[in-house]
């Protein structure tokens, strides 16, 4: 229960950050991607801030636990699936102005066009799920 409340709190904080920074507004994201028009660099500042805060959080967690939080993924190879997924993600992001977090936040606010993006994400997760017997990634601790 404690980890579920922590996850809920982290998700609410993340969503609030997206809303306050304007990143749940697809026009803001498209303005960042529009290098040939009226470019809006604010997304780069939000990303740089998020990277800095995340780095501090990982460093803090690494000192408080024996869990290898800084360990990278087991598979670091570049595959067709990775490249194809990256291209599809980029195309979807450029067309809609939504990446996963802001799409869910906008849907939570009742912005129904975001439902198309969320449905697309769910479909992509379903299509890309690991096959039975395949490694599904590192085990996670619960509790």
- Is the residue at 135 inside a domain? no
Q: What is the pLDDT of residues 38-51, one digit of tens each?
A: 888 888 888 898 89
Whole-number mean pLDDT of the chain?
Answer: 80
- Structural domain of 55: 2-127
- Is the residue at 141 inside a domain? no
Average pLDDT over residues 82-108: 84
pTM: predicted TM-score of the whole model, two decimal places: 0.62
- Is the residue at 34 inside a domain? yes
Counted domains in the chain? 1
- Is the residue at 139 inside a domain? no
Confidence band, pLDDT 50/70/90 cuts, at residue 139:
very low
pLDDT of 52 strictly over 90: yes
Q: What is the pLDDT of residues 57-87, one digit of tens each?
A: 888 877 776 666 556 667 778 888 888 888 8
Distance CA 51, CA 47 (A): 6
Distance CA 73, CA 70 (A): 10
- Is the residue at 41 inside a domain? yes
Query: Position of tokens 């869910």?
Result: 104
User: How far is it between the farthest Cα atoms of the chain?
Assistant: 49
DSSP code per residue over 88-123: HHHHHHHHHS--HHHHHHHHHTT-TTHHHHHHHHHH
Q: Which segments within the chain are labelled E, that is strand?
A: none
pLDDT at 69: 58
């Amino acid at each position: 229960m404690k980890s579920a409340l922590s996850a809920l709190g982290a998700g609410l904080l993340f969503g609030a950050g997206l809303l306050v920074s304007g990143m749940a507004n697809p026009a803001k994201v498209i303005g960042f991607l529009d290098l040939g028009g009226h470019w809006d660099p604010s997304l780069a500042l939000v990303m740089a801030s998020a990277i800095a805060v995340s780095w501090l959080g990982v460093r803090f967690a690494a000192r408080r636990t024996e869990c290898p939080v800084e360990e990278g993924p087991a598979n670091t190879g570049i595959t067709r699936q990775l490249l194809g997924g990256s291209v599809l993600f980029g195309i979807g992001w450029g067309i809609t102005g939504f990446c996963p977090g802001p799409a869910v936040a906008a849907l939570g606010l009742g912005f129904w066009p975001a439902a198309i993006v969320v449905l697309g994400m769910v479909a992509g997760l379903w299509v890309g799920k690991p096959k039975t017997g395949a490694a599904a990634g590192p085990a996670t601790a619960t509790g």
